[in-house]
Amino acid sequence: MNILIMGMGYVGVTTGLVFAEQGLNVTGLDTDSMKIQTLSEGKLTFYEQGLDDLLLKHLKSGNIRFTSSTKQAIRDNNIIFLCVGTPSDKDGSADLQFIRGVAGSIGKYMNEYKLIAVKSTVPIDTNYKLVHWIREAQSTPNEFDVVSNPEFLREGSALQDALNPDRIIIGSDSSHAIDMIKSLYGKISAPFFVTTARTAEMIKYASNAFLATKISYMNELSRLCETIKVNISDVAEGIGMDHRIGKHFLRAGIGYGGSCFPKDIKALLYTAKEHNTDLSILEKVYQVNQTQYSHFLNVWEQKLGGFSHKTIAILGISFKPDTDDLREAPAISIIQELLEKQAIVKVHDPIAKLPFGLLSSKLQQFDSLEETLDQCDAVILCSEWDEYKLADWTQMQAYMNQHFIFDGRNMLDSKQLIKLGYHYHGIANE
């Protein structure tokens, strides 16, 4: 079985390498020839631990190769995974231009039976529409099956998540296609859940929306807890011990970001609107997330006595640790608000870099923590990289002008920092 992965982003590269690791023959396709060249040289186009070693291993083993020749790649492979992006359109709906594009290519170039599996997050009925788009583009009526096989890996732990999934969802009504997909995952130990393509599509959105709901619930609760001085992290631990609630995704903070939750929540709300249905809980999840960072920025501004003309260090700009992804990162919104309030902003991240165009005399990025904290009045921690937990905060004190630490992820050791003489404030964790 020869597998073609269309779209070399996080999901595509990880999926390809996981199949290569199972001993399967994989080709990665992308229209961006620079990406293909970089991957062919054994380098990733994003930061993700563990994937780089696997890439080198399977370029060497010959289990994976990369190309931008769409026609040849479609002809040479009988199983095709769609891993192209489905970004938000202006109205919040999922933009399906890349899905339509690959559907057109598959229809045009296929010369025999193909099994097409959709990993991209797509709105309900997209798998059904895909069949029509492929047929429309066909010049000869070759047979094919389309299967929904959504992906649940997280950035920052992509490889571990893909190798150890909680479940494998297969949405199809073709028993032949279902068996083929099952055989591909033969060496991965996870239960299969077989359903219709429409239900599989909804399972993906409902999973992300539920996780975002857990976060926004805790974030909204943290606002009350901040006011009445109840520790939200202790609340999370206490409720998480109830197995019906579960301990994961209860960490209050400055809000969720990334390329998935914000876009998928908007897309699901759009689908609801299209069908004249209210998803009022999800509307609120979205609103709480939009305002969470500014709520706590206001709290911290009062503690500091204003941000104007103060020097603020931002630690961690990626939307979460262990990734260089800045998409919808709360840190970026915080930086913008601080600049509007006439603060001077100094930024640090172990991996992620601010786009050059954003930098100015009022906004600079530094490589070392010492340079970043030099002459700062306050630190705002935006993503919980280990480096910040392990930093020598006794030594850091000497560099700072005032000793305020605002911990947007409740990550640092508050007791220790207070003992050292810092004015420490997190998200409802006093």
Catalytic residues: 260
Measured from the CB atom, the residue of 176 and 247 that comes closer to ligand UGA is: 247
Would you say 82 or 134 has its CB closer to ligand UGA?
Answer: 82
Asked if 380 and 312 touch (Cβ cutoff 8 Å), the reply is yes
Q: Which of 118, 115, 114 is nearest to 83 (CA)?
A: 118
- Residue type present at position 420: L
- Burial degree of 14 (CB within 10 A; 0-12, 13-18, 19+): buried
CB distance 307 to 341 below 8 Å: yes
**Minimum separation from the CB atom of position 394 to ligand UGA (A):** 28
Give me the residues that bind ligand UGA (CB under 6 A), please. 121, 151-155, 208, 211, 215, 249-251, 253, 256-258, 260-261, 319-320
> Amino acid identity, residue 282?
L
Closer residue to ligand UGA, CB minimum distance, 322 or 377: 322
Phi, psi of 211 (to 5 degrees): -65, -40
126-to-118, 123, 129, 282, 421 alpha-carbon distances in Å: 9, 6, 5, 22, 57
CB 95 within 8 A of CB 131: no
Give whichever of 28 and 255 is closer to ligand UGA, judged by the CB atom. Answer: 255
Q: How far is the CB of 332 from ligand UGA (least distance, A)?
A: 12
Residue with tokens 């290519």: 105
Is there a contact between 108 and 140 (Cβ–Cβ < 8 Å)? Answer: no
State the amino acid at position 7 in one-letter form: G
**Phi, psi of 59, rounded to the nearest 5 degrees:** -70, -40
**CB 248 to ligand UGA: min, Å:** 7
Write down the residue that tokens 């007791």 correspond to. Answer: 415
Least separation in angstroms between residue 102's CB and ligand UGA is 18
Which residues does 346 contact at the CB level (< 8 Å), separation at least 6?
Answer: 311, 312, 313, 314, 364, 365, 366, 371, 372, 373, 374, 376
Q: Which is nearer to ligand UGA, 129 or 154 (CB)?
A: 154
Q: How far is the CB of 237 from ligand UGA (least distance, A)?
A: 12
Least CB distance from residue 190 to ligand UGA, whole Å?
14
Query: Of 162, 227, 173, nearest to 198 (Cα)?
Result: 173
Q: Nearer to ligand UGA by C-beta: 147 or 218?
A: 218
Nearest residue (CB) to ligand UGA, 35 versus 320: 320
Question: What gap in Å lies between CA 298 and CA 293, rounded to an integer?
Answer: 9
Helices 126-137 and 197-228 meet at what angle, rounded to 10?
140
Distance CA 124, CA 209 (A): 14
How far apart are the C-alpha atoms of 405 and 400, rounded to whole Å?
11
Q: Could you tell me the smallest distance in angstroms from the CB atom of residue 157 to ligand UGA?
A: 7
Angle at 209 between CA 236 and CA 8, to 5 degrees: 115
Nearest CB to ligand UGA, comparing residues 128 and 217: 217
Smallest distance from ligand UGA to CB 261, Å: 5
